Amino acid sequence: MARDDKSEEARPGPRHVAIIMDGNGRWAQQRGRPRLYGHHAGAKRVRDIVEACPDLGVEYLTIFAFSTENWKRTQTEVAGLMGLFRRYIEREARALVRDGVCVRFIGDRVKLEPKLVDMMDNLEMLTAGNTKMNLTVAINYGGRDEVTRAARRLAYEVQQGRITHEEVDAETLARFLDTRVLPDPDLVIRTSGEARISNFLLWQSAYAEYEFIDTLWPDFTPTEFASVLKSYTLRDRRFGAVRA
């Protein structure tokens, strides 16, 4: 862990935390249960972490629910996950509205079933005015896919003459990303002991801090979450600069 050698003074906690929720399948297999059992347990853990965010000072939480590569899993598991997403929205919508959570979904919705897309759209509409915290759920999301789609939309704007090629820079491209209304993540957490980013928020996480922990996602409690956030405050974030 990178720490400031000159000072132990804690810095502000992360405003935006992104989480790669890994380990649901292994958690279930350790208990002799099917992988979907672990995904159900993981969905319940999401509620615990979302509820903990306001008291921990986290304004934005982005969770990686289903990647563009996850379609390679068995048809049974994919179908089960899609059903789980529908049930999660049905079960949690009222609580999310009540608790002031603004929900957004990122990713390519074209491949998702229309009923699920309608539910996602409706939940976004119902929670659009909420300001207590922001929950972003990445479904059928991949960082490279997101940047490709953004570049395609930007190229179309240039083709239509609404943007000149001289105006194209990093800030311009960022306006076409799925996350254009969100701040970049300060901290990215991956559970389950894997130390890779798996195509998650590639553009947005250029200067994020990373924390790879061994805990499987269903066992990742708000207490451990708070501990990870505390360790973040001891890191020396220089963003390419050198401190005097």
Q: Give catalytic residues, as residue numbers.
A: 22, 70
Q: Per the annotation, where are the binding residues for Mg(2+)?
A: 22, 209
Question: At a CB cut-off of 8 Å and minimum separation 6, what does 140 contact?
Answer: 66, 67, 68, 71, 107, 108, 109, 111, 112
Q: Per the annotation, where are the binding residues for substrate?
A: 23-27, 35, 39, 67-69, 71, 73, 190, 196-198
Half-sphere exposure of 233 (CA within 13 A, CB side): 14
**Chain center to CA of 190:** 11
Give the largest Cα separation in the chain, rounded. 59
The two structure tokens encoding residue 169: 């820079």
Q: Per the annotation, where are the binding residues?
A: 22-27, 35, 39, 67-69, 71, 73, 190, 196-198, 209
SS3 category, 129? coil
151 in Cβ contact with 170 (< 8 Å): no
